[in-house]
Structure 1
Amino acid sequence: MSSFTESHPGLPAAYVLLLLDVVKRWHVNESELLAPAGLDREQLTAPTLRLPLDVVNGIYTRALELTEEPGLPFYIGMQMKLSSHGFIGFAAMTADTVAQAIELAERFISLRLMGFALRLETHNDEARLYLSCDLNLQPLRDTAVAALMVGLGQMAQVLTGETLYGIADIDIPENPRFAEFSHILPAQIQYGQPENVIRFAKAYLDAPLLMADASSSQLAIEQCERELVAIGHTNRFVRQVRELIHDDAEGFRSVEAVASILCMSERTLKRQLAQDGTSFSDILEDLRRQRAVLLLRHESQSIERIAEQLGYSDVANFTRAFKRWTGTTPSQYRRGA
């Protein structure tokens, strides 16, 4: 019998149920997939059950092994439903317009996906929906990003009855199955980018939703607000650490320096980050990756200088890290940027 509780600040079990539905096409035995985690489908149906991030990561890793399908993120995204996201999905589904639905998702996404955040910006006739992620467990992190980016487009079509065309930048290496799925995805996907963002026509924000219902939406919003108070904002600490790690004048700060600024011991800082499913080194590496991609887009600095700015002792170490992040070397990336 599993000892998981409904108050654990992890991921809702509903996402594992979604994974179970996706892997059915490969005839995966559910018991074989869930048994190592001490779980079964009946337990996962508890509406408020949340699972530790490392447990979900283990289940997903096992799914990759059993299906031998690297394209799982695409299948998950295309099979993602608004109901997968609980009351947030219901609130968004019954909003008046796409803009209102996105506003609700921005406000409440931390209820379902700790460490994730959405941000909508508009520039002239273009809308940009940014997705940030503080989760660092792999392969769960990159899969969640890819599945959400695909899922957002799929759910937008369900909400409006119209296809959301645009361009999606994703900060992960290209999936080996991408070419086979690209023709059915409404957005043009660009991999290895410094951030996750979907760009689309601003006019789409005013599109009315097919299931708009003001009273139902308000009820869902009130429930989300109650859950927000109950679960707290544990991801705020992770974001605070992210903001403190890099300083334009000092560069990348050490864990000791960040702990000092926060008036806590290094041990306490590491423990709190571990409780949120990440670590100082994971956040530091993610920030280095983002900054590396941005700097390499400009020819004004040499790769040696960029490596130095990022805190690497030599170009070889930087090159190894960059190839691990993007699947290509800094020089190759710069030539193709």
Structure 2
Amino acid sequence: MQRPLSASPLAILVFVLAACSAPVAPVPQDTGPPTAPTGVTATAGSASTVHVMWNAATDDRAVTGYAVYREGHKVKDLPAATLMTDVTGLAPATRHRFTVRARDAAGKVSPPSATVTATTLPAAAEDRTPPTAPTGLRAAADGSRAATLHWSPAHDDTRVTAYDVYRADVRIHTVPGTATTTRLTGLRPGTAYAFTVRARDAAENSSPDSAPADLTTAPSPGAPPNTAPEDVAVATAPGEITLTWTPPRTGAPVTHHELHLNGRFATTIVWGTDPPTGRASYGFAVQDPPGTRYVVTLRARLPDGTWGDFSAPRTAVVR
């Protein structure tokens, strides 16, 4: 009987080495530094602070952070998602020069941005009186990724030096105290937003929030319409927060809503077989100390069982 042929150890080794030497796709190289940030602005907010903002830089891989420089010396390192900062501890009535650089994961640094200047305000006598809240805030969507805000001026016993724009209780933009309008960019298509504005004086006293202004950006082409609850209102009493809103129009009764506090799921609101046909209302107890702030959002369960879009956020302050 003829014995079956078997491969020699050397042949097996050659085969294994050949298999291991199969070509591997090259890893893309980082070919250059990020672009220099554009649209840099600097606004004096007080006798010792300047607010610096800029537009996002680009990179062939990804921008991982930004550095802010004053008079050529680095004063801030910031993550890629941050496009503004306050530079503090400055001398009063002094002109300062600022630039911004982007960096990528390979450690490459962009050229400096254009230089912008701001002069801090003169030192003033002690001022503990905040400005009044801005009034008449209006918000209009500008396509799917931008919005324009308008408001009426606030008043102060000295003068208003800046207006701060807030979204979900987080400051996202600052303009000089002479401005009563601004344009916001970088928004998401088909999303409900709520904005408020606070006035600030040279002593860094901030006004109460303006009344919120809501808007929904235009959806992306072919995207379904927004399904967020509308006209959300917040009322507070000692130890209690009450919400009212208009459920979305889904073609069927909306029996479930999700309540989120500070971006986290809190509870599901269920009405069973007899949900409200108009305005809905829900109250809940809170045990946090007075002054605690909550950002409140809602979303509805749609007829197909999925959850719809989040409402524009509202801020509730515990009493």
In the superposition, the TM-score normalised over structure 1's length comes to 0.26
Which one has a larger percent helix, Structure 1 or Structure 2? 1
Larger relative contact order (CA 8 Å, sep ≥ 6):
1
User: Which structure would you say has the larger Rg?
Assistant: 2
Which one has a larger percent strand, Structure 1 or Structure 2? 2
In the superposition, the TM-score normalised over structure 2's length comes to 0.27
